[in-house]
Amino acid sequence: MKQVALVTGASRGIGRATAAELSGAGWAVCVNYLEHREAAEELVRQLRAGGREAIAVRADVADRRAVDAMVRTAETELGPIELLVNNAGISRQGLFQDTDDETWDRVLAVNLTGARNAARAVLPHMLSEKRGCIVNISSIWGLRGASCEVAYACSKAAVIGLTRSLALELAPSGIRVNCVAPGCIETDMVRALGRETRDMLVEETPLGRLGTPEDIAHAVAFLASSRASFLTGQVLTADGGFIV
């Protein structure tokens, strides 16, 4: 039977690798994007060429109505969503004292409220079927805190709270909720920090390299699979040993 996954923020980076990994594992995938339409559509073409169903749908995850509309589109075109990967996220650097309201609100709106919006939108079907899986993408900075990224670290800590709380609330309904906390992963988000910071992060990572988007996609696919059927409320840290 066809199973449908929604991956938010799947036009680039970790979300893109996750959508490809899930597609390879047999999932029909809704590729959500915000600005990079061509990249999302190109991924969809690739997945379809591999014989899988896929669609690209634009929605700002911070906008509840847009997320509801995206889920309706996905459910009409692909079928009911059984796996939600809350991956869409943004980071902003700067001193806490220099972080204006707009920046603070936007980081929380995308990283935390975005995950809440998508979970609320997919849950009616999961609850009625008493089956489903949600994997949230947090960050090691949500576990240990981050200087000059306070809003980001708070939003990612909150994603862990969301994961654990939803896991407890939804377990009686047969829905598992877990979380991956990536370390430093080679994507545009880390490239934006510049070469020097990137090299410093490599040095600080015990395994001696940055993670690849595929490293995280593998962790997500595991949590989504039946091999993880007794796991819920967990934070799987995939960071090359960064916070051991």
Of 9, 80, 132, 240, the residue at the interface with ligand NAP (CB under 6 A) is: 9
**Pairing mode, strands 235-238 and 27-33:** unpaired
Cα 155 from Cα 207, distance rounded (Å): 27
Nearer to ligand NAP, 161 or 174 (CB): 161
Nearer to ligand NAP, 2 or 144 (CB): 144
Task: Spell out, one character per residue from 78 to 97, where the chain touches ligand NAP: x when CB under 6 A holds, - when not.
Answer: ---------xxxxx------
Cα 223 from Cα 219, distance rounded (Å): 6
Of 98, 188, 196, 203, the residue at the interface with ligand NAP (CB under 6 A) is: 188
Considering the complex, what minimum distance in angstroms separates the CB of residue 172 from ligand NAP? 28
Considering the complex, what minimum distance in angstroms separates the CB of residue 102 from ligand NAP? 14
Cα 132 from Cα 85, distance rounded (Å): 11
- 29: tokens are 């995938």
The amino acid at 29: V
Question: Which residues 105-164 are close enough to bind ligand NAP by CB under 6 A?
Answer: 110, 114, 137, 139
Cβ–Cβ < 8 Å for 237, 183: yes
Residue 33 is among the residues annotated as catalytic for this protein: no
- 140: tokens are 């090691």
Collapsing DSSP to helix, strand or coil, 88 comes out as coil
| Active site positions, annotated | 152
Q: Which residues form the interface with ligand NAP (CB under 6 A)?
A: 8-15, 32-36, 60-62, 87-91, 110, 114, 137, 139, 182, 184-185, 187-190
